Amino acid sequence: MVSSRLLFFLSAIFLLTAQAVAQTADFLYHFCLNDNGNYTANSTYERNLNHLLSSFSSNTEIDYGFYNSSYGQNSDQVSAIGLCRGDVNPDDCRGCLNISTSLLKQHCPNQKEAIGWFDHCMLRYSNRSILGVKETSSIFYMSNVNNASSANNADKFNNDLRTLLESLRSQAVAGGSLRKFATGNATAPEFQTLYALVQCTPDLSELDCNSCLVDAIQRIPVCCNNKKGGRVVGPSCNLRFEIYQFYNSTAAASPPTSPVAPPVSPPPPLTNTNTTKGSERNTSRTIIIIIVPIAAFVLLVISFCVYFRVKRRPRREKLETVEDDEIRSVESLQFDFSTIRVATDNFSEANKLGQGGFGDVYKGRLSDGQVIAIKRLSKNSGQGDLEFKNEVLLVAKLQHRNLVRLLGFCLERDERLLIYEFMPNTSLDHFLFDPIKRAHLDWQRRYKIIGGIARGILYLHEDSRLRIIHRDLKASNILLDAEMNSKISDFGMARLFLLDQTQGNTSRIVGTYGYMAPEYAMHGQFSVKSDVFSFGVLVLEIVSGQKNNCFRNGENVEDLLSYAWKNWREGTASNIVDPTIRLGATTEIMRCIHIGLLCVQENVADRPTMASVILMLNSYSITLQVPSQPAFFMHNNIDLETSRLMQSTWVTKSDERSKGDSVEASRNEASITELYPR
Ligand SMILES: *[C@@H]1O[C@H](CO)[C@@H](O)[C@H](O)[C@H]1NC(C)=O
Ligand SMILES: *[C@@H]1O[C@H](CO)[C@@H](O)[C@H](O)[C@H]1NC(C)=O
Ligand SMILES: *[C@@H]1O[C@H](CO)[C@@H](O)[C@H](O)[C@H]1NC(C)=O
Ligand SMILES: *[C@@H]1O[C@H](CO)[C@@H](O)[C@H](O)[C@H]1NC(C)=O
Ligand SMILES: *[C@@H]1O[C@H](CO)[C@@H](O)[C@H](O)[C@H]1NC(C)=O
Ligand SMILES: *[C@@H]1O[C@H](CO)[C@@H](O)[C@H](O)[C@H]1NC(C)=O
Ligand SMILES: *[C@@H]1O[C@H](CO)[C@@H](O)[C@H](O)[C@H]1NC(C)=O
Ligand SMILES: *[C@@H]1O[C@H](CO)[C@@H](O)[C@H](O)[C@H]1NC(C)=O
Ligand SMILES: *[C@@H]1O[C@H](CO)[C@@H](O)[C@H](O)[C@H]1NC(C)=O
Ligand SMILES: *[C@@H]1O[C@H](CO)[C@@H](O)[C@H](O)[C@H]1NC(C)=O
């Protein structure tokens, strides 16, 4: 074992290294933008630029942390913007911009347009007018390499982070014309406190600031899901979060300059920061990794020591308490049949909500007022009481904001009930396929619903402890909560009904005509990719507002998949878009059609995984592959050629990575794929 003296010594080295790095005066990141051309030495443009930059150090308006200026005439006019982080005092701000002015010119010796960022400020100049214009390219990410919380708390962490950032976003947007900046904290899993900051350049309109930050927040899954710290930084707005306080909230001294830190908790900001550029503009596609090798090594040694010295015992104790909890939860999940009978008024017709694949569904109200949904299973589930109980316990552990929550079960005589949270807005099909109610679903809502379904499926496929293939994804299994968030229902039914749940063949096909992947419908072969197929059908239905299996195009009834494919190939994809949302965000809609088509491809291995679907939905910087022809098995006579082709496709692990994604995507996907062995 390493002695505590050595530990202390190593941490001292670490702190010194960190200090040295902190004092290196270079940008976190900079872009020299070639698109806007180069200027030549001694040109008017250069003289104007020099004049402008020298005025930055001496100006007085900087007190608000924002400075804009332009100088020169016509094609030689230069505009510049300086922005300091909202909590930085005017002296530091001026100092930071002063360094930036000389540094940026050194880094980009003849580019007309350039941007550079420090922790405390940003400097931009260009030959075009940049004031009040939202800039969506030239964005970079940074993330701490360490995970903030264990895998089962990751969702919770990401959720808490998103909630915090959303609230800061609205504060910053409403900040006024001088400052659009907000900081805040929130509690995160594992007793951590999350600190975050968002900022727009104050010259943006509220609308532009909002959409810039919405976009930045959406990039978090690509950049830094469940990381101890991360930043999404662009010319018009930026966000940052850490699990320590990194901004100045009046009283507290700013942490980066504090040299005394307890040896056991090394300061996270300077550890090993991975900066990836996610620019849409084709500047140069490089990945910059700022590594502090010694620091990283020392950190590793320290973590090892700390892990073995401190964590070992408590960890074992923790496991035991978890088991206790599990035993207790069996009791709390079981409901009395009499309770449910009262709650549903003797399973009255009036309380019947509908009929699902596995039995009738009733609405009920418990004595404490809670409204529930009860699925009364048709009686032949084919397994014993104990097995049923065990499976319910496992399925009840699947908790995600995009899954309908299983609250419990009831087992009495031959009655088997499953009790779920009640969803006030019924299911997606009630809205989507109703010519009047459809109007409630504008594009924004539909897009949110698509994202929610995708995250729910990903959780079932990869993030939950059990690997669940849903097998019956369809619009009527997508329920909507009071805020019209989508939640998947009927997951895990295969577990409760004695169907084997691993990838394989099954003689009992549980899916629904129109959503089933051809290999599943015809050969009973299911895999995560058959769920991906159903997801693709759902996406196309959501975009078009039409059912796949009774799609109407004027007088003709054909199937949605072939109609979508035909139009997409002919460049007329807008034909399939529901007329009520034609005024929505066209690029987003087209991207969804594209993703939908990728998911319904005939070749199982060509369909993306849900993890890559989510990446594609979240990041426009990812180039999508060109889809191949979808499986047209909806036609009444399945042609033999097709079915023979499909028999030979079987997903293997190496097949599952799609090849065409950009750098960030494939890196991300590789790490997701590693979760597979199960
Ligand atoms: C501008 O200069 C950079 C190098 O300083 C060069 O890589 C780039 O090609 C030049 N661009 C144009 C448009 O001349
Ligand atoms: C730019 O001007 C300076 C003096 O004003 C001169 O020394 C230098 O040679 C000039 N450079 C070029 C490339 O013309
Ligand atoms: C800006 O930096 C230069 C050195 O790079 C220094 O001489 C000058 O005094 C600084 N100006 C201000 C206003 O800080
Ligand atoms: C900026 O410079 C580039 C290259 O010289 C030119 O193509 C572009 O039109 C200029 N932009 C403006 C707004 O003058
Ligand atoms: C962080 O979490 C991801 C996924 O949960 C896992 O693959 C990765 O190994 C973890 N990284 C570290 C450094 O623990
Ligand atoms: C979190 O923010 C609140 C204000 O919203 C502040 O009162 C509190 O001190 C902060 N907590 C920490 C630990 O910084
Ligand atoms: C930009 O600069 C102009 C002129 O220097 C000034 O009038 C204007 O208020 C500035 N705008 C902002 C948002 O600071
Ligand atoms: C429910 O049905 C049982 C018999 O099946 C009957 O005894 C009871 O009175 C009924 N309760 C209500 C509220 O109708
Ligand atoms: C969804 O349900 C909530 C709560 O019952 C209701 O206020 C809202 O109007 C419903 N939304 C739609 C579009 O029906
Ligand atoms: C599934 O069935 C096909 C024939 O339909 C057979 O070739 C294949 O080996 C079976 N796979 C498994 C895992 O049983």
Write out the DSSP string of 467-512.
----S---GGGEEE-TT--EEE-STTHHHHTT---SSEE-SS----
- Does position 1 have pLDDT exceeding 70, yes or no? no
**By alpha-carbon position, which residue is closest to atom 5 of ligand 7?**
69
pLDDT given for residue 100 in this prediction = 92
Most confident of 128-137, 220-229, 296-305, 375-384: 128-137
69 lines ligand 7 (CB under 6 A): yes
For ligand 3, what atom is nearest to the CA of residue 98? 1
How many Å lie between the centroid of ligand 2 and the Cα of residue 21? 36
Give me the mean pLDDT over the 531-553 stretch.
86
**C-alpha 162 to ligand 9 mean position (Å):** 24
Q: Check: CATH 3.30.430.20 for 4-126?
A: yes
Does residue 142 contact residue 274 with C-beta atoms inside 8 Å?
A: yes
What is the spatial distance between Cα 407 and Cα 418, in angstroms, rounded to a whole number? Answer: 8
Q: Which segment of 6-10, 555-559, 661-665 scores lowest on mean pLDDT?
A: 661-665
Whether the per-residue pLDDT at 455 is higher than 90: the answer is yes
**Mean pLDDT within 59-72:** 79
pLDDT, position 555: 58
In 108-256, which residue ranges form alpha helices assigned H by DSSP? 154-173, 206-218, 220-223
Cα separations in angstroms, 675 against 132, 151, 189, 611: 44, 10, 22, 11
Cα 364 to ligand 10 centre (Å): 43
Average pLDDT value for residue range 238-246: 92
Between 100-114, 389-403, 443-457, 627-641, the lowest mean confidence (pLDDT) is in 627-641
Q: Is 253 in the pocket of ligand 2 (CB under 6 A)?
A: no
Whether the CB-CB separation of 107 and 116 falls below 8 Å is answered with: yes
SS3 640: helix
Give the number of whichever ligand sits closest to the CA of residue 244. Answer: 6
Residue 616 has pLDDT above 80, yes or no: yes
If we measure between CA atoms, which residue out of 427, 454, 449, 433 comes closest to residue 580?
A: 433
Q: Where are the domains of the chain?
A: 4-126, 140-256, 319-421, 428-647
Residue nearest to atom 1 of ligand 8 (CA): 346
The residue whose two tokens read 């405390």 is: 120
Cα 225 from Cα 145, distance rounded (Å): 11
Pairing status of strand 406-412 against strand 415-421: antiparallel
Atom of ligand 2 nearest to the CA of 40: 13
Rg of the chain, C-alpha, whole Å: 28
Does the structure show a pLDDT above 80 at 357? no
Residue 584 Cβ < 6 Å to ligand 6: no
- Ligand 2 centroid to 427 CA: how many Å? 73
pLDDT at 309 over 70: no
Of the chain, the percentage scoring pLDDT greater than 90 comes to 36
Cα distance between residue 475 and residue 428, in whole Å: 5
171 C-beta closer than 6 A to ligand 6: no
Nearest 10 degrees: Cα torsion 322, 327, 333, 334: 180
- Report the separation in Å between the CA atom of 131 and the middle of ligand 4, taken as the mean of its atom positions: 16
Across 55-59, 375-379, 571-575, 660-664, the highest mean pLDDT is recorded for 571-575
Look at ligand 10, atom 8, and give the residue with the nearest C-alpha. Answer: 505
Q: How far is the CA of 484 from the centre of ligand 9 (A)?
A: 7
Least confident residue range of 385-399, 503-517, 660-674: 660-674
DSSP code at position 254: P
For residue 101, the CA-to-ligand 3 centroid distance in Å is 10
Give residue 25's pLDDT.
67
Distance of CA 11 to the CA centre of its chain: 35
255 lines ligand 6 (CB under 6 A): no
Per-residue pLDDT band at 359 (split at 50, 70, 90): confident
313: its two tokens: 């015992």
Nearest to 298 by CA among 615, 643, 598, 12: 12
What does the alpha-carbon distance between residue 102 and residue 472 come to, in Å, rounded to a whole number?
Answer: 61
Pick the atom of ligand 8 nearest to 341's CA: 1
State the amino acid at position 280 in one-letter form. E
Active-site residue 429, yes or no? no
In this prediction, residue 551 has a pLDDT band, given cuts at 50, 70 and 90, of low
Residue-wise burial string across 332-363, b where 16 or more C-beta atoms lie within 10 A, e elsewhere: ebbbeeeebbebbeebeeebebeebbbbbbbb
Confidence grade of residue 91 (pLDDT, cut at 50, 70, 90) = confident
Q: CB–CB of 417/344 below 8 Å? A: no
Average pLDDT over residues 249-278: 34
**Atom 13 in ligand 9: which residue has the minimum CA distance?**
440
Please tell me the residue having the least CA distance from ligand 1 atom 5: 110
Q: What is the reported pLDDT for 159? A: 92
Q: Which CATH class name applies to 140-256?
A: alpha beta
What ligand is nearest to the CA atom of residue 107? Answer: 1
Indicate whether 553 pLDDT > 80: no
Assess whether pLDDT exceeds 90 at residue 16.
no
Q: List the catalytic residue out of 87, 472, 559, 661.
A: 472
Distance CA 271, CA 567 (A): 51
Exposed, middle or buried by CB within 10 Å (0-12, 13-18, 19+), for 192?
Answer: middle
User: For ligand 5, atom 1, which residue shows the shortest CA distance?
Assistant: 147
pLDDT band, very low/low/confident/very high, at 657 (cuts 50, 70, 90) = very low
Cα-to-centroid distance, 41 and ligand 1 (Å): 13
SS3 371: strand
In 272-414 the beta strands, taken as DSSP E runs, fall at 273-277, 287-290, 352-356, 359-365, 371-377, 406-412
Residue minimizing CA distance to atom 14 of ligand 5: 147
Residue with CA at minimum distance from ligand 8 atom 3? 346
The predicted model scores a pTM of 0.46
Lowest mean pLDDT among 468-477, 506-515, 546-555, 599-608: 506-515
The chain-wide mean pLDDT, for the chain, equals: 74
- Residue 182, pLDDT > 50, answer yes
Name the phi and psi angles at 127, rounded to 5. Answer: -90, -10
Written as six digits, the tokens of 23 are 């004092």
- Is there a contact between 392 and 409 (Cβ–Cβ < 8 Å)? yes
- Residue 653 pLDDT: 22
Residue in this structure with the two tokens 């947007």, named with its chain if needed: 173
Q: For 428-647, which CATH superfamily applies?
A: Transferase(Phosphotransferase) domain 1 (1.10.510.10)
What is the number of the ligand 1 atom nearest to the C-alpha of 34?
Answer: 11
pLDDT of residue 498: 46
Q: Is the CB of residue 255 less than 8 Å from the CB of residue 245?
A: yes
Tell me if domain 4-126 and domain 140-256 are identical in fold. yes
Asked if pLDDT for residue 523 goes beyond 90, the answer is no
Instruction: Give CA–CA dist 667/180, Å, rounded.
Output: 34
The answer to whether the CB of 486 falls within 8 A of the CB of 478 is: yes
Return the pLDDT at 33.
87
Q: Is 98 helix (H, G, I), strand (E, B) or coil?
A: helix
What is the C-alpha to C-alpha distance for residues 295 and 297, in angstroms, rounded to an integer? Answer: 5
* Cα 75 to ligand 4 centre (Å): 7
Instruction: Inform me whether the pLDDT recorded for 208 exceeds 50.
Output: yes
The contacts of residue 660 (CB under 8 Å, 6+ apart) are 623, 624, 625
C-alpha 632: how far from chain center: 31
Beta strands in 243-293 (DSSP E): 273-277, 287-290
**How far apart, in whole angstroms, are the C-alpha atoms of residue 13 and residue 326?**
45
Task: Label residue 143 by pLDDT band (50, 70, 90).
Answer: confident
Can you tell me which atom of ligand 5 is nearest the CA of 151? 5
Q: Cα separation of 401 and 455, whole Å?
A: 9
Please list the residues that pair with 97 across neighbouring strands: none
List the single range of 289-298, 375-384, 406-415, 576-585 with lowest mean pLDDT: 289-298
Pick the atom of ligand 4 nearest to 126's CA. Answer: 1
pLDDT at 330: 54
β-bridge partners, 415:
412
Ligand showing the shortest atom-to-Cα distance for residue 106: 1
**319-421 sits in which CATH class?**
alpha beta
> Are the C-beta atoms of 31 and 137 separated by less than 8 Å?
no
The DSSP secondary-structure symbol of 69 reads E
Does ligand 6 have an atom closer than 6 angstroms to the CB of 185?
yes
The region of weakest confidence among 342-356, 509-523, 532-546 is 509-523
Question: How many CB atoms lie under 10 A from the CB of residue 325?
Answer: 9
Mean pLDDT along residues 227-250:
90
Ligand 3 atom closest to Cα of 58?
Answer: 13
Residue 385: pLDDT band with limits 50, 70, 90 = confident
pLDDT band with cut points at 50, 70 and 90 for residue 662: very low
